[in-house]
Structures are given as structure tokens and as C-alpha cells.
Amino acid sequence: MFTPVILAGGSGTRLWPLSRQNYPKQFLALDGEGLGTMFQRTLARLDGLEHSPALVVSNEEYRFVVAEQLRQARRDSRRIILEPMARNTAPAIALAALQARRDAEDPILLVLAADHFIEDHAAFQRAIEVALPHASLGRLVTFGIKPVRAETGFGYIQYGETCIEGGYPLLAFREKPSQDVAEAYVASGRHLWNSGMFMFRASRLLDELQRLRPDILDCCRNALLHAQEDNYFLHVQAEQFACCPAQSIDHAVMEHVDNALVVPLDAGWSDLGSWASIWEARPRDTADNAIEGDVLAFATRNSLIQSHHRLVTTVGVEDLVVIETKDAVLVARKEESQQVGEVVRQLQANQRNEYASHSLVNRPWGYYDTIDCGERYQVKRITVEPGESLSLQLHYHRAEHWVVVSGTARVVCNDVEMILTENQSTYIPLGARHSLSNPGKVPLELIEVQSGAYLGEDDIVRFEDKYQRIFRNFSQQTTRRSD
């Protein structure tokens, strides 16, 4: 028996424009097989193994996405631990280990990233079964991927020759190498790719952190001590956690222990860290093209082409990545797709919203899609799920018109409550207290037209909110989570 720890807090940039800061790759379905998102598939590949409900470690910004994807997949979680800011894997795993010791005496933890692709689930589960008895005896175990090429984008693990019941002594971690060094690693037969997956007892990990990085452990312990709990989430205390050094578990612990083991894993693994790796993982046609959506490809070879909103055509090209979304299009040479992060950094420097969010934004009550915007106006299509509601709120800088497209809306505007159905509308004046809910059995869809001097999502003052989001007066200078 073990407890999965799913690390789902990353905000990958190399898969832009599909992966965005506010909706990163672990919450996307990237492999083209229609079997769920990467996060959901990470949980699903544990089916058949005896384990307790997972501990999920994510970011405050993703809390409702995590909860909704668990609900959609009908998966239980022991607890969703929410970091107020990213601090790399050592603090994230420390939080999980501390919480796990609260929940059980000394569980064995299986630490998995939420955004990895594994083709052979049976081989993956066999590797876990090999690691489990070692972890139960107090060993720190990591999983090394058998390399299929001299890859310079991964770290490597050097391991010893002596086989110990399916595991091998871990000799050293190696940083991302040059091409020549990577080729030497692969030729040696004693190096594996570093997968970032681990198994150990919670107590053993905490003991090593106390010995090697007591500063990280103390910060995490204090942040957890002052955390706020509700039915779904454990909100780690921000001020204490902000003091925590950011470091990977490899650098903080694994590189400095003497009796760690590595279990080789040959299961068709990929971290899906670039569009080239997505192309490799996808089914391809006779011209080696991986195509998704409304695409016409003529005389096109060795390319990844995705259309998510409109027709995309290619003629006479090869080795390209073409990714179309509603608000952005990426065209890149496949071999240069690792450089997409530079595009994201430039968008961020230019304060363009495309680096952070899609036009369609998920909320705990449903989602909205920005249809059009301009100076002093913005148009959204809003979908509210049955039984859900937006908070009682007001805006200082905008008024709103709502037109119901389908479903039933219960609207409160100041002291007036009304029921609106298809083709009916209402006006929300600037400064009016208002709320919107769906009392029906089908999704509520409406068009919202905003007008005013400022249309930012932070012009919201909440008075009541079933989702326990932060209340904030727009005139205050403190930041709030835009949700």
C-alpha cells in the first residue's frame, strides 16, 4: 500500500499557445488519444495497484481546475495541498510528506509529476512493484528512464552494476549534458534519464531534509502549521512559505544520500516538454504528420499541425509545428520548438495577456469566453453549470448587459430578484450589487456586454461567495486571485 503524491503545480511555457500560465499543460489532453488530461491519466495509470487516495500538490491559481478534473474523472483525493507560490519540488514534496504523516503513521509515498506521458502502463506498474519493498525498508528510490537517444534536454542518473532485487545503486545525478557527453552516457550503458519520479517513506524523506536542508523543512512545517483547511483544499500559509528556498528534491536530498536506489523503467516515457516531443508521442499518418482538428495538409511531411478553432492548411512544408488557438498561432521549425519559452517571455515583457490566459477561462461555476473587446467595451459568452452561481458582487468601473441564450437565470440586482429565460435580458448598472445563478437542470448560457472606463477582472468587490474566494475592495492595493 502506498500514497500517490501528484505534483500538479507547474506552469510550463514551452507548449504555448496551448499551455498558458493560468491553464498549463498538466490540465490539457495532449496525446491525441481522447483518454483525459495529463493529470487525469497520471491518476488512471495507477488503477489496479493497491494505494490510498492521492495527495495532490498544486498552486492556488489552479485549485478549481484540479477539483473539477478530479470530479470529471470520478477520482478521490486525500487532500489538495495548495502552494501560494512555486518553490520547486523539494518544498512541494516536503509539504506532502508532512501532511501524509498527519493522515497516517508513516506511509510510503509515490511521487509523480502530473504532466508525463507513459505508453506502457503494465511496465510502469511493474517498476512500482519493484520499488515498493525497497521503499518499505527505508530506502530512497528513484525511477530512471532507459534512454532511446542521446538527449541533451534531460538530466541523467549514473547507476552501479550490482542488481539488488530489481534496483541498482544510485551513484550520481548528472546535469543536462552536451551532445558529446550525452552520447557517451548512452554508450556506457550505465546512465538513465532522470524521470523526477520517486518512492520513499514519508519519515525517511523528512529525516533527510532535517539533516540536509532544515531551512526548507522548517519553512514548510511552519507554513503547514498555519494553513487554512476547508472541505476540499489545504491553503498553505503564504508569508511562511514565501521564505522557503526554491530547490529541486534532486539537489536538496537525492544527490547527497548514500543508499539510494534507481529502478530502470522502459515504458515509453516522455515529459512532453516540447512540441517535438508531442509529435513523437502522437499517432502519425503515412507522411509522418501528427494532425488534429480541421486541417488540410498537402505535400506536408514530418509535421505537427493542430487546429482548435478554424481551418488550417499547409502546402509544401516539412518539419514544422503549427498550433492554432482562438487568439494565437505558433509556427516553428520542429527542431527549434524548445525555444517557444522565449516567445512567452517576450509576451510577458510586453504585458500581453496571451502569455497567461486563453480567451476561454474556467471558473468554479463554469467558464466564460471573450468574444470581442475594444476601448470601453467587452463581450463575453458565459456558461454557468446547473446549481452553480457567481458571487454577490459589484463593479466600480463598469456596467453590464446580460442576454440569456439558453437555460434559466436567477438574477439579483440590488434588492430586486428576477428569473430570466431564453431571449430575455437585464441591465446591471455601475455600482449595483448583483449576483447570477443557474437554478435549472441544464447549463445556462448568456451573452454579457460590459461597458466602462476599466474592464479588468480585478474590478470585483465580493460580498458573498460559495467558493471561498478572497474578498477585495478595488481601491485597495493588495493583490487578489483573479477568479
Measured distance CA(356)–CA(11) in Å, rounded: 10
Alpha-helical segments (H) within 201-352 = 202-212, 214-225, 238-242, 249-252, 275-281, 340-349
Query: In this structure, how many other beta carbons lie within 10 angstroms of the beta carbon of residue 419?
Result: 12
Query: In this structure, how many other beta carbons lie within 10 angstroms of the beta carbon of residue 456?
Result: 12
Q: What angle do CA 428, 361, 402 make, to 5 degrees?
A: 20
Spell out the domains of the chain, with CATH numbers in brackets: 3-270 (3.90.550.10), 287-340 (no CATH), 360-464 (2.60.120.10)
User: Cβ neighbours of residue 477 under 8 Å, at least 6 residues apart?
Assistant: none
In the numeric block, the cell 495532449 is attached to 30
Alpha-helical segments (H) within 45-170 = 63-72, 89-103, 121-136
Measured distance CA(301)–CA(317) in Å, rounded: 7
Please give the chain's pLDDT, 483 residues, in tens: 999 999 999 877 789 999 998 889 999 988 666 678 999 999 999 999 999 999 999 998 898 889 888 988 888 777 899 999 999 999 999 999 999 998 878 999 999 999 999 999 999 999 999 999 999 999 999 999 999 899 888 899 999 999 999 999 999 998 889 999 999 999 999 999 999 999 999 999 999 999 999 999 999 999 999 999 877 789 999 999 999 999 999 999 998 998 899 999 999 999 888 899 899 989 999 999 999 999 999 999 999 999 999 999 999 999 999 999 999 999 999 999 888 989 999 999 998 988 888 888 888 899 899 988 888 999 999 999 999 999 999 999 999 999 999 999 999 999 999 999 999 999 999 999 999 999 999 999 999 999 999 988 888 998 877 766 543 333 333 333 334
pTM, whole model, 2 decimals?
A: 0.84
Handedness of CA 72, 78, 82, 88 (dihedral sign): negative
Q: Are 44 and 36 in contact (CB under 8 A)?
A: yes
In the chain, what are the helix, strand and coil shares in percent, each to the nearest 5?
25, 35, 40
Measured distance CA(356)–CA(385) in Å, rounded: 24
C-alpha cell at 160: 552501479
Q: Are 428 and 402 in contact (CB under 8 A)?
A: yes
In the numeric block, the cell 523539494 is attached to 90
Q: Burial, 48: exposed, middle or buried (Cβ in 10 Å; 0-12, 13-18, 19+)?
A: exposed
